[in-house]
Amino acid sequence: MKSLAVPLVLLTALSALPRVRAQEEPFDFETLRFHAKRLAAQPYQPRPSQVPKFLLDLSYDEHRRIRFNPDRTWWRDERLPFQLQFFHPGFIFNHTVQLHEVANRRVRDIPFDRSRFIYDHVDLAGSIPDTMGFTGFRVLYDLNKPGDELGAFLGASYFRLLCKKAVYGLSARGLTVNTAEPGGEEFPVFEKFWVQKPAPDARDLVVFALLDSPSVAGAYRLVILPGATTVVRVRAAIYRRTEDKVIGLAPLTSMFWHGENSRTTHRDFRPEVHDSDGLLLQRGSGEWLWRPLVNPDQLRVAAFADENPRGFGLLQRDRDFEHFQDLEANYHLRPSVWVEPVGAWGGGAVRLVEIPAPDETSDNIVAFWVPASLPPLDEPLEFEYRLFWSLEASRRPPAGYAAATRLSGVLKQPELTRFLVDFDGPYLNGQPADPTIEPVVTVGAGAGLVPGTVTIQKNPNNGTWRVTFAVKPDGSGRAVELRCFLRKTTHVGSLTETWSYLWNP
């Protein structure tokens, strides 16, 4: 969401206030879920676009010159702690959403109004209907300084939020349908939003959303609490139209182009380029598992089966600017997002989808929860969870975690690959070199662990512990599952999270 630094040119006759229509029916989540249930009982009907052709014919640069007029920010005149600005349709943005304000459980429309925008040398060749809607909206809040942007809802069911001192990175989504499944992915869309008008002293913002697609309709309630860690409480009720789709809950979408574990930097001057560098899971059993991300040569899907998961998330653990060297993108300031289920989610699996990416402009990482079973079609799929957007490690194993993953060749033995895994954490960092702390390394089918290559060293420079080992593929070409953790011989159980890596020889 980069601001556009262009001159301000106001169109004439755009000072009229928007027409706002009030609706008398009380509104709450139960009202919305009834609407979603009724919608799902009908055949899917895509809403026709009302975006005029002359707006769709705008070039990329022309559309960028259309900016929201900050003087027309919603709730600015009332100086409320949360305020709204809207995105203008045009260019490739042909799908619009309908926005509404909720005050005292009463609804009023927020119709499209040209006076809310600045058209800088953009020729509007025709009229724009006030029923067209917007392509989305952004939320303003004094997060670090007055007028800061807190988050944005834009495109399908995507939304992104910020915590203090962060810049935009990965996105959350309302739902995934058939992601990485045969037949192609279906993208459910938030068709309508209702934003609850905040009180003058409000600390959170409530957003309701109606989701629709060929396979599902759903009701969402999101309560956004900004801060050093921005928390979003999500409640959803999903009604399915069909049985044969794979539904993904609490999906996160991110980008990984290359990192310290990559074989190439793609001739890029930056050592690492990614919004997230790993998937972290806390299983229902309490086990912690870390899967470093990769930019694969071909589509990869991994499933981590579990029962009542305690949480999962896509994290940016690396916070060292020197590892990125990017003065514009600031990848070291991209937030991590942790998903914490509310209540028992039962059996299922966290799925990780890694898609080949030619550059950093493509989101190629998706993680979500797939329930093992779904209710009958005439019953809703109901679930709740919390999202934690943070620069700090809001969820982390107490004793130790995998801080870095590196690969290298072995001198004069080209058939071998050497792995170096660094473990860190308050407990490990404070421990002197200790022979009772040892690594446990396992290698799955497709390769073998080279005898005598497993070592562990305490790093005197930063307090981490480095495990190294060499692996030899068996020539089958299959992907190999590698695992490593630290344990202390004088204690029962593992000392750190489990490092899990899928390696393609």
pLDDT in tens, 183-226: 899 999 999 999 999 999 999 999 999 999 999 999 999 999 99
Q: What percent of the chain lies above the pLDDT cut of 90? A: 86
* pLDDT confidence bin for 65, thresholds 50/70/90: very high
- Is-contact 83 73, C-beta < 8 A? yes
Q: SS3 of 211, please?
A: strand
pLDDT tens digits, one per residue of 248-287: 999 999 999 999 999 889 999 999 999 999 999 999 999 9
The residue length of the chain stands at 505
- The pLDDT of residue 470 is 97
Residue 446: predicted pLDDT:
95
For the residues 161-179, what does the mean pLDDT come to? 98
pLDDT at 24: 62
Percentage of the residues of the chain whose pLDDT score is greater than 70:
95
CATH number of the structural domain 401-503: 2.60.40.10
| CATH 2.70.98.10 boundaries in the chain | 28-49+69-87+94-100+128-390
With a cut of 60, say whether residue 14 has pLDDT above it: no
User: In 79-228, at which residue ranges do the beta strands (DSSP E only) sit?
Assistant: 83-87, 98-103, 106-110, 117-119, 136-140, 149-154, 158-161, 171-173, 176-177, 189-196, 205-212, 216-225
Q: Residue 20's pLDDT is what?
A: 41
Q: Does domain 28-49+69-87+94-100+128-390 have CATH number 2.70.98.10?
A: yes
> Over 90: is that where the pLDDT of 493 sits?
no
For 358, what's the count of Cα atoms within 13 Å in the CB-facing half-sphere?
Answer: 0
Q: In this structure, are residues 494 and 436 in contact, taking their beta carbons and an 8 Å threshold?
A: no
**Mean pLDDT over all residues of the chain?**
92
Q: Is the pLDDT of residue 17 over 50?
A: no
Q: What is the pLDDT of residue 1?
A: 36
Q: pLDDT of 291-336, one tens digit each?
A: 999 999 999 999 999 999 999 999 999 999 999 999 999 999 999 9
pLDDT at 10 over 60: no
Going by C-beta distance under 8 Å and a sequence separation of 6 or more, which residues neighbour residue 193? Answer: 97, 98, 99, 100, 137, 153, 207, 208, 209, 210
Say which range, 173-182, 185-194, 235-244, 393-402, has the weakest mean pLDDT.
Answer: 393-402
CA distance 302 to 284: 18
Whether 142 shows a pLDDT value over 90: the answer reads yes
Which pLDDT score is estimated for 23? 55
- Closest to 151 measured CA to CA, from 103, 87, 202, 90: 87
Give the pLDDT score at 124: 83
Average pLDDT over residues 233-262: 96
Residue 5 reports pLDDT greater than 80: no
Tokens describing residue 346: 């039962």
pLDDT of residue 204: 98
Pick the closest to residue 163 from 221, 222, 232, 223 (CA basis): 232
Q: Is residue 458 pLDDT above 60, yes or no?
A: yes
The mean-pLDDT minimum among 19-28, 430-439, 464-473 falls in 19-28
The tokens describing 89, both together, are: 């349709």
Q: What tokens does 102 get?
A: 């909720």
pTM of the predicted protein model: 0.91
Neighbours of 455 (CB within 10 A): 11
When pLDDT is averaged across residues 413-426 and rounded to a whole number, the result is 95
- List, by residue range, all CATH 2.60.40.10 domains of the chain: 401-503
Pairing of strands 83-87, 381-390: unpaired
Of the given ranges (55-69, 100-114, 118-132, 363-377), which has the lowest mean pLDDT? Answer: 118-132
Q: What's the rounded mean pLDDT across residues 176-183?
A: 95
pLDDT in the model for residue 25: 73
Q: Cα separation of 462 and 474, whole Å?
A: 36
| Mean pLDDT for the stretch of residues 171-194 | 96
